[in-house]
Structure 1
């Protein structure tokens, strides 16, 4: 396994809609090219930032196809295939494998509270459906399920399980998962607010929902950590957190705000799908300020 291709900054890819709110191949291409030119190492397609929970199975397949059509061979491609049913998850996994994705990932089952035995069976059936490597997605604040180190150990008995995207807030979880898996496992930092802390605590890379709004800043934060410039990394993380707080303080969804930032950068990927809310008229000036914050941080840290 070539772990290097999974290291670095991997933005969670946004849902790209046309003006009627349909999945758009042209706009997927535009976003992919934008991120490629920024120098990110890969993209995570079809996850939370991709609004997957609001898409039909066919739409999810289309989103995976469009991203692969334009980015395969340019960067690492990870397909999120978690769905409410095991059947749909397996269908998405097989589709991603046919498209040439580098790895799969999936949240645990949602809605019903299931025992570890059911969660293990769900993930195992997805893993066994294709020859692709698999990355567990731990995000208890939205799924209601917390991955334990004991279940992680059981999953690691399958050679195709190469890591975990850990989006729980305690950085201790990153340290525990890294200690459990050691050098044979890739731990991805999930919460963007703790990227630097997560990297220092053992995360090998990052997958994040706000990376696309400010890829330059996360690329630089990662370089600071790699170079041992922890004071600079700490200061930059503080500015990143100010930006994230501002994005989360909009009337509309954070993702709607990010998409408006991108639109003003020349990358129009539409808005968000309901029940997520689009930006309001009051959000315009706030987004102006967010863009200024991003640009000033780039000028300070990315010279």
Structure 2
């Protein structure tokens, strides 16, 4: 099995002005991120505007990233959807095209109880081979459903291929509970970029991060510093990451796309109903980014 570890950018999805997916720009983005030393790639998550894409569009994006990466980095495809049938279809597609694993966000919008949450994951994971890694994905501030460590443990008990979780909420105590699953043999990748240093100190395997999909360099540097037990250097890069988070409005996808354009990586436009940032906002972003010395 290939696991998520180190720095895993949550990739944006490039769109043309008419809203169509631009696969050529996706190839360029994939090459850009790999060239910056990231360890894995995570397309079609929240940052990738996944719920705005059709199933066929999502398949095309997944195929493009897997083909372009060509085994140079681990590729984990996010397959979560509002329709469970679509999740299963996308999961099997990821397996078919040679992805290294999948992530599945909790059920979205409609509230579920613990039994429904457990059944949801078990039914999907059980339809896949035992050696195909499945990551749970908990982002309660967006999905409206929260996944407890107790339910995650029950899911892992029933499904050998459920190997870890992507947790995108700034709760260090809950993170530590996830790390105790399976007698501390459960992979946890952390998404709250401003707390990466304490998350790595706790034992998280890495980060799946939207901001690292724009500025991967300080994330790779922070991870390397932690691997080398260089706390002073790690603190330095955590401060830089926090500054980038603030400038990019703590997860504004329109700002991500504009910042990439300013870096020379054209990833096109937002898909409606979200709008691109204005010319005035772009000029302000450009000036703010000049303040960071990296």
Do the structures match in fold with TM over 0.5?
Answer: yes
User: Hey, what's the Cα distance between the residues in 2 that align with 1:81 and 1:269?
Assistant: 21
**SS state of the match for residue 9, structure 1?**
strand
> Which has the higher relative contact order, 1 or 2, with Cα contacts under 8 A spaced 6 or more apart?
2
User: Hey, what's the Cα distance between the residues in 2 that align with 1:58 and 1:2?
Assistant: 26
Matches within 5 A, 1:190-229: 190-229=191-230
In structure 2, the CA distance between the partners of 1:187 and 1:171, relative to structure 1 (3 Å rule), is same
Structure 2 partner of 1:153: 153
- Kept in 1: contact 2:9–2:213 (CA 8 A): yes
Deviation, 1:170, is 0.9
User: Hey, what's the Cα distance between the residues in 2 that align with 1:289 and 1:106?
Assistant: 37
| Uncovered stretches (5+) of structure 2, i.e. residues with no partner | none
Query: Larger deviation: 230-239 or 215-224?
Result: 230-239
Deviation, 1:223, is 1.2
- Kept in 2: contact 1:172–1:201 (CA 8 A): no
Match of 2:79 among 74, 78, 81: 81
Deviation per residue, 1:17-65 (Å, 9 max, x gap): 2343211111110000001111111101110011001111121111111
How many pairs align? 291
**SS state of the match for residue 27, structure 2?**
helix
- Kept in 2: contact 1:243–1:290 (CA 8 A): no
Structure 2 partner of 1:98: 96
In structure 2, the CA distance between the partners of 1:189 and 1:219, relative to structure 1 (3 Å rule), is same
In structure 2, the CA distance between the partners of 1:202 and 1:103, relative to structure 1 (3 Å rule), is same
In structure 2, the CA distance between the partners of 1:56 and 1:2, relative to structure 1 (3 Å rule), is closer
Structure 2 partner of 1:134: 134
Normalised TM-score (structure 1): 0.91
- Kept in 1: contact 2:211–2:244 (CA 8 A): no
- Kept in 2: contact 1:11–1:210 (CA 8 A): yes
User: Hey, what's the Cα distance between the residues in 2 that align with 1:181 and 1:17?
Assistant: 41
- Kept in 1: contact 2:8–2:40 (CA 8 A): yes
- Kept in 1: contact 2:2–2:101 (CA 8 A): no
User: Hey, what's the Cα distance between the residues in 1 that align with 2:281 and 2:65?
Assistant: 30
User: Hey, what's the Cα distance between the residues in 1 that align with 2:11 and 2:2?
Assistant: 22
Structure 1 partner of 2:269: 271
Deviation, 1:234, is 2.0
Structure 2 partner of 1:37: 35
